[in-house]
Amino acid sequence: MSGVISGFTVIFIVVAIGYVLGRTGTLGEHSVPVLSRVVFFVCTPALMIHSLATNDLSVVFSSTLAVAASTAVIVGALYVAIAWFWLRRPIPELVIGGLSSSYVNSVNLGLPIAIFVLDDASFIAPLLLFQIMLYSPLALVTLDFTALPGTERSGVWNTIKTPLANPIVVGGLIGLAISLAGWHPPQALLSPLDMLGQASVPLALLTFGLTLTGVKVFAKGTSPRRDIALAAVLKTALMPAIAYVLARWGFGMTGDHLYAQVVIAALPTAQNVLVYATRYRRGEIIARDSALITTIAAIPVIAIITAALA
């Protein structure tokens, strides 16, 4: 338990430093996009290559992937069903809400928690690849055909191949290829990848802290409160519960593996959802407010999970 508390303390301190830097404007007005791009285009791909190239592929194609993927799909579908019959929302808002209730922040918070709390970055790799390679393309194809006029649509093939241009996916594929080939790269190649990969976590946490400044949620008259509340409850309470049921009784997980699976499911909504909502100009407030609310709620939820399962 002391190790878990220590891990969360490290995370909260670095996030708090990022928040203070944002409030004081120390890094300037462009700090968030610059740091985000460094994490996205350089550090996290390096971490993916190093982690997958130096680990057994069984950690990726395992029950961890099956539980994470099944949990996300079940929760997302449940949101769509409830919002369709209860709130009568159009399809684009249903897609964004479904993602807000089930798409996990696997980079900014997932990697730090996997490293500092779970003590193993490989726990997050299967979920990261699933979300970028399968979950995102399915949602984007749906948004492409329901939220855009015909003249603005990018087409099915362009939407499907978009993840292949994602540097994190490219890094994952390179790492998988190295592992499949059985090649052991020389230390001169692995060391810089390891160095850059280790920078991914602190920079992601600083960036996350920076983004928490100046955000207001549940603004009266402009915020779809029922949609946000539904997404937040499903993401924060139901998704970890479903992950526990699937992992414990569906795949027979116990101990550290069960604990890791539930903690991963309890992670907050990813900021990627807001990027998608902004791209299609639908559901921006749902995505933004859900991400912030679930981030705040994830702290006590993960603490409870830790007390029960760690």
Domain coordinates in residue numbering, the chain = 2-309
Q: Which residues of the chain have pLDDT under 70?
A: 1-8, 56-60, 107-108, 111, 116, 119-122, 147-166, 214-223
CA dihedral 237, 238, 241, 246 (to 10 degrees): -160
Question: What does the pLDDT read at residue 297?
Answer: 87
| Amino acid 144: pLDDT | 76
| Rounded distance between C-alpha atoms, residue 301 and residue 88, angstroms | 30
Give the tens place of pLDDT for each residue, 34-72. Answer: 888 888 788 888 887 887 788 766 666 778 888 989 999
151-179 tens-digit pLDDT: 555 555 666 666 666 677 788 788 888 88
Q: What is the Cα–Cα distance from 190 to 178, expressed in whole angstroms?
A: 12
Whole-number Å distance between alpha carbons of 47 and 42 = 9
d(CA 99, CA 277): 10
What is the predicted pLDDT for the residue at 183? Answer: 86
Please give the CATH architecture assigned to the domain spanning 2-309: Up-down Bundle (1.20)
pLDDT value at residue 165: 67
Q: Measure the CA–CA gap between 43 and 47, rounded to whole angstroms.
A: 6
